[in-house]
């Protein structure tokens, strides 16, 4: 997608291998239930993300860059070099074994942010081009939609708003009853007046 050099300067590389695993829903995707300790995925505990055609993300330490794996496959997964050839059989000599990271978050300059009164640069990297397509986002079998909403919220500097238990047609606003009544009154009465 043209961002490989930008990611490389931050210590990230996206491997050319396709992540495959026996933990799957339809045979062509990877079901991930292990999440890192991060605000983007904390509300998703007990849920599952689906990745179809994801690549492993690797991190090499770089000064002033913190790396957090957001999702991690199990030890039974591996990076397949020829995903178009079935059945998949791992070549232990050439193909990396699990656990593998298909999604990660980085912060650049977090250590200096407090001293210099600026916000650190943030990025969420998902190495799956189909992650945010309509099919995975509307499915109630996974938490892809909530992950995407939480990632945008974290990038914007606000708390994650989604929870994997929310129905796919419900928008989680984070307002309590009093705040919602006040918002409704202002919207219905104050703005028209």
Low-confidence ranges of the chain (pLDDT < 70): 1, 110-117, 136-141, 159-174
Q: d(Cα 3, Cα 6) in Å, to the nearest integer?
A: 5
- Over residues 106-148, the pLDDT tens digits come to 998 766 555 566 778 899 999 998 887 777 666 666 788 889 8
pTM for this model (two decimals): 0.75
59 three-state secondary structure: strand
Asked if 151 and 103 touch (Cβ cutoff 8 Å), the reply is no
- 185's tokens: 């009154």
Cis peptide before 5 (omega within 30 of 0): no
Q: Is 4 left (phi over 0), alpha (psi -120 to 50) or beta?
A: alpha
């Amino acid at each position: 997608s043209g961002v490989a050099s930008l990611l490389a300067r931050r210590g990230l590389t996206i491997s050319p291998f396709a992540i495959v695993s026996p933990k799957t829903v339809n045979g062509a995707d990877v079901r991930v239930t292990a999440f890192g300790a991060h605000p983007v995925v904390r509300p998703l505990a007990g849920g599952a993300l689906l990745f179809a055609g994801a690549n492993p993300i690797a991190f090499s330490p770089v000064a002033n860059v913190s790396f957090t794996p957001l999702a991690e496959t199990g030890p039974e997964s591996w990076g397949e070099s020829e995903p178009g050839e079935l059945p998949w059989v791992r070549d232990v000599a050439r193909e990396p074994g699990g656990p593998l990271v298909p999604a990660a978050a980085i912060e650049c300059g977090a250590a200096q942010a407090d001293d210099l009164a600026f916000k650190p640069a943030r990025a969420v990297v998902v190495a799956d081009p189909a992650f945010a397509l309509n099919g995975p986002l509307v499915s109630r079998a996974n938490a892809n939609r909530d992950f995407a909403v939480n990632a945008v919220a974290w990038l914007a500097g606000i708390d994650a708003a989604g929870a994997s238990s929310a129905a796919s047609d419900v928008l989680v606003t984070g307002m309590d009853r009093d705040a919602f009544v006040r918002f409704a009154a202002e919207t219905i009465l104050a703005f028209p007046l």
